[in-house]
Amino acid sequence: MSADSYGTKGQPQFGANGAPAIDVDPSAVADYAALVGNHIVGTSAQRNANVVPNSSGKPVWEGLLWDDTTDLIVYRFTGGSWLPLFSQWKAFTPATTGITLGTGGTIVGKYRYDFGHIVQDVLIQLGTAGSAIATLPTVSLAVPAAATPVPLLQYEGVAIYYQNTGGDYNGQVGAPSNDNTKVRLLTWPGAGGLVNAVTAGAPFAWANNDKIWLHFKFPI
């Protein structure tokens, strides 16, 4: 039978005095659940099968959200593939060039998905001996950027350079030409108000126990 009335969210309701053909009522409820239900929780293997994880065998649909219990990322099915939307923070260890950590030096990173972007944090602490910074040091991205950026394209974010002997210096990150897997470290402002590359002597003469903190966002 058809619904006797509808609730505030459009859900079908059936009165106690309605027609006795109760056998079709569950179908109306199931149809409404299919109309508004758009979020599935399951494993990566289930998600990558691209079918509803029950005995129906029905394919997933455009706009479906999937909360992946394997990698802890929420995806949206878009254009025939899964787009990662958001996640909790994930730990990773970035690779670097032009940075020698030295004795006891550390580098830690974390990242999270944020609706088509990656937010990434990195903390580098130079060691107590043997540390060094070369010209144009780079730090790897947790996930490759969406496309190879143009030279000097700046990702949204900041860099702070901590001098152990006193003083904090502002900077930013930039995308190397023809490489969407890393960022290079820049100082701000440089000569003439322009950004300059971090070097062994800029923004200060790097020494043991100095630190670098990066926080930035880029499209994937």
CA–CA separation, 51 vs 55, rounded Å? 10
Cis peptide before 203 (omega within 30 of 0): yes
pLDDT tens readout for residues 40-82:
999 999 999 999 988 888 899 999 999 999 999 999 999 999 9
Residue 28: band (very low, low, confident or very high) from pLDDT cuts 50, 70, 90: confident
Q: Which domains does the chain have, with CATH numbers?
A: 5-84 (no CATH), 90-219 (2.60.40)
**b or e along 131-164 (b: 16 or more beta carbons within 10 Å of the residue's beta carbon)?**
bebeeebbbbbbbebeeebeeeebbebebebbbe
- Please give the pLDDT value at position 82: 97
DSSP state string for 135-177: EEEEEE-SS--SSPPPTTPBPEEEEEEE-TTS-EEEEEEEPPT
pTM score, whole prediction: 0.81
Residue-wise pLDDT for 107-134, tens only, equals 999 999 999 899 999 999 999 999 999 9
State how far the alpha carbon of 184 is from the alpha carbons of 27, 150, 220, in Å.
Answer: 58, 13, 18
DSSP-derived 3-state class of residue 34: helix
| Cβ-Cβ contacts under 8 Å for 193 (sequence gap 6 or more) | none
Question: What is the distance between the alpha carbons of residues 74 and 67, in angstroms, rounded to a whole number?
Answer: 4
